[in-house]
Amino acid sequence: MDICHVPGRFPVSTLRFGHVPQNPGLPRSQTSPYWPYVAAAGGSRSETDPSGPTYRNRMFFLGMGFVAQFFAQELKNQGWVVSGTCTSILKKNELGEMGFDMYLFDANEPELVILLPSTLEIMKYHTHVVVSIPPVVGIGDPVLQHKELLRSSLTDGGNLQWLCYLSSTSVYGDCGGAWVDEDYPTSPASELANLRLIAEKRWLSLGDDLGLSTQIFRLGGIYGPGRSAVDTIIKQGALSEGQKMRAYRKFTSRIHVEDISQALTASIHLPSRRRVYNIVDDDPAPREEVFAYASDLIEKKWPGRIKQSASQSESLIGKGSRRGKKRVSNARMKKELGVRLLHPSYRSGLQSIINHMEEAL
């Protein structure tokens, strides 16, 4: 199903308050740009602030992690109200000081799980939701284990219209190095990947039940400022055991956090129903190649200051796992969401990261 081809990227700045395009697939009442906001009982500062705008785009992140924080900042800069969950009071306070309305939720902590009903009551008065909490072995999706609570809390009233579940390309499993699009059969090769796939289906189902525009983003390896091969080499100088194992997964797909943000932005403009998108760059590449490139960049910027170069690290790599080989196609993301990647390859992504680094060694 082709939704629309819109050339060019979508800067977040084009997301104006209340600007939600009409989508013929959704009931009119759920695409209106002027839904009234109703303050929730016990709502946080901005929700009860009488001086704030009555009608606003409001994003709620279930899990204010790396991607969420990056996108949250972009949205906030454009005037969105942004809220989310995290698992620690320290982080709640830090993000609160940055202007986000934060709520505690940790699926592993029963005393925080009991806060979920009140958090959902707040969440339902947001217009958009991004789910970025990963599955937990033995639990599954930490939020969906309370699916009936979600359904009962979110069914009546509220402003929710759009939901995106951040998934992973791990759901495809090992494809023998083949190119993999969204119609390629899924074959998760680990328990976590299997839980991902189950979570995808259940979020799509809940989205249907609630009448939301629901999309799944299958992300490649996420990198960006503060989390990249450059940062790893600077911080530790050598690869961890887990990283050594991953080094043998040829054709690892990855995606810069800026490009995830612009894909999310594009999807908000072009909400879909039950659409799955691979969110990866154009250049699936072996991890050792990426680390060698990062090492060269660091050597050029700070000659002789790496404790241990990537090439030395490579020599430490033993025979490792070859699971998960695939090259993930982003054709649908480009065609339907009109995304033009800022970082089509790890090369430009890493270059941009190091360009913005101050003296780091």
Applying CB under 6 A, the residues found at the interface with ligand NAP are 63-68, 86-88, 91, 105-108, 132-134, 136, 142, 166, 168, 219, 221-222
142: nearest Cα among 104, 182, 187, 178: 104
Residue placing its CB nearer to ligand NAP in the complex, 173 or 221: 221
**Could you tell me the smallest distance in angstroms from the CB atom of residue 268 to ligand NAP?**
17
Rounded to the nearest whole angstrom, what is the least distance from the CB of residue 330 to ligand NAP in the complex? 14
Express the helix, strand and coil content of the chain in percent, nearest 5 each.
Answer: 40, 15, 45
Q: Exposed/middle/buried for 212, CB within 10 Å: 0-12, 13-18, 19+?
A: buried
Q: What are phi and psi of 97, to 5 degrees?
A: -65, -25
Rounded CA-CA distance 92/198 in Å is 29
Q: How far is the CB of 229 from ligand NAP (least distance, A)?
A: 12
Q: Provide, rounded to whole angstroms, the least separation between the CB of residue 279 and ligand NAP.
A: 9
Contacts of 311 (CB under 8 A, 6+ apart): 292, 295
- Strand (E) positions, 35-123? 58-62, 81-86, 101-104
Q: Which is nearer to ligand NAP, 168 or 262 (CB)?
A: 168
Whose CB is nearest to ligand NAP?
65
- Residues 156/188, Cβ–Cβ less than 8 Å: no
Query: With respect to ligand NAP, which residue has the nearer C-beta, 278 or 309?
Result: 278
Which is closer to ligand NAP, CB of 1 or CB of 114?
Answer: 114
**What b/e sequence results for 244-257 when a residue is b if at least 16 CB atoms lie within 10 Å of its CB, and e otherwise?**
bbbbbbbbbbbbbb
Q: Where are the beta strands (DSSP E) in the chain?
A: 58-62, 81-86, 101-104, 128-131, 162-168, 179-180, 213-219, 221-223, 254-256, 275-279, 327-328
Beta pairing partners, 216: 165, 276
Give whichever of 192 and 342 is closer to ligand NAP, judged by the CB atom: 192
Query: Which residue, 87 or 159, has its beta carbon nearer to ligand NAP?
Result: 87
Q: In terms of CB distance, is 37 or 343 closer to ligand NAP? A: 343
In angstroms, what is the minimal distance from the CB of 244 to ligand NAP?
17
Strand partners, 162: 128, 213
Shortest CB 274 distance to ligand NAP, Å: 19
- Helices 191-210, 147-155: crossing angle, 10 deg rounding: 20
Q: Write the single-letter amino acid at 48.
A: T
**Of 97 and 359, CB closest to ligand NAP:** 97
Work out how close the CB of 331 gets to ligand NAP at its nearest, in angstroms, rounded to a whole number: 19
Q: Where are the beta strands (DSSP E) in 69-219?
A: 81-86, 101-104, 128-131, 162-168, 179-180, 213-219
Based on CB atoms, which residue is closest to ligand NAP, 186 or 308? Answer: 186
Q: State the nearest-atom distance from the C-beta of 190 to ligand NAP, in Å.
A: 13
Minimum CB–partner distance for residue 28 and ligand NAP (Å): 32
Give the single-character DSSP code of 316.
T
Q: Residue 223, SS3? A: strand
For residue 128, the minimal CB distance to ligand NAP (Å) is 16
Q: Decide whether 136 or 317 has the Cβ nearer to ligand NAP.
A: 136
